Each structure stands twice: as structure tokens, then as C-alpha cells.
């Protein structure tokens, strides 16, 4: 079943963001730093950086580092449409592109 309507994508993103906030707030976690200057949450983090992580770890940056002036690189595929709305609700900017469709322009935007 394809979800084509933009309002359904936005509403799905809002529901997913609410579910992630609720679920992540119930978890107990610790953050261990080798160097805390790499964390955009802290004011001593300066300069441009690229953070790379696997898909299964996407919830922690979404939950912990929203509104930290970060941009996510998302594919132009339809599946990433809801994720772009989730990222927006958490305070992230996003750039769309992948290796086969718009990757060079996406890297330039980052």
C-alpha cells in the first residue's frame, strides 16, 4: 500500500516523533565521551563535523540532539519522506540525496 498524500506523510511523521519521544524517555542510558567537544549539545563544540551511524542507532541522535543545528542526509526515496518529517519535528534540518540520485548536490548542501 502506497501512501502518497503529503498530509498523511506529515501526520505519520508527527505520530512517529511522538512515539519515539515517549519510548526514548522511558529508556535508561549513559553517554560516555572520549572527547565531549565532538558533541553539538555543548558550547565548546566548534567547527563542521560529519557524524556517521548505522540505521539502527538513528533514534538516539534524533531524541538527544534535536535543535543542535544539525542536518541529516536522507535518501530521495519515498520511504525517507516520513523520516524527513520526524527529523523536522525533532528540530533537524535535512538534505535529500543518495549515491544514485542527487548525492553530489546533497553533499554540497551539507
Q: How many structural domains comprise the chain?
A: 1
Q: Is residue 88 part of a domain?
A: yes
Q: Is residue 1 part of a domain?
A: no
Does this model's pTM top 0.85? My answer is no
Q: Is residue 67 part of a domain?
A: yes
> Residue 43 belongs to what domain range?
6-109
pLDDT tens, position by position, 1-56: 566 777 887 888 899 899 999 999 999 988 887 888 888 888 888 888 888 877 78
Handedness of CA 43, 44, 48, 53 (dihedral sign): negative
pLDDT of residue 18: 94
As a whole number of angstroms, the distance between CA 16 and CA 71 comes to: 19
Q: Is residue 104 part of a domain?
A: yes
pLDDT of residue 22: 95
Share of the chain above pLDDT 90, in %: 9
Given a contact cutoff of 8 angstroms between Cβ atoms, the answer to whether 109 and 88 are in contact is no
Amino acid at each position: 500500500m502506497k501512501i502518497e498524500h503529503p498530509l498523511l506523510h506529515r501526520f505519520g511523521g508527527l505520530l512517529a516523533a511522538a512515539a519515539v519521544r515517549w519510548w526514548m524517555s522511558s529508556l535508561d542510558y549513559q553517554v560516555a565521551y572520549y572527547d565531549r567537544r565532538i558533541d553539538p549539545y555543548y558550547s565548546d563544540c566548534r567547527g563542521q563535523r560529519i557524524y556517521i551511524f548505522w540505521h539502527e542507532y538513528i533514534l538516539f541522535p534524533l531524541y538527544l540532539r534535536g535543535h543542535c543545528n544539525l542536518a541529516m542526509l536522507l535518501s530521495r526515496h519515498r520511504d525517507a519522506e516520513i523520516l524527513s518529517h520526524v527529523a523536522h519535528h525533532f528540530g533537524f534540518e535535512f538534505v535529500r540525496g543518495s549515491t544514485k540520485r542527487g548525492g553530489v548536490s546533497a553533499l554540497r548542501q551539507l
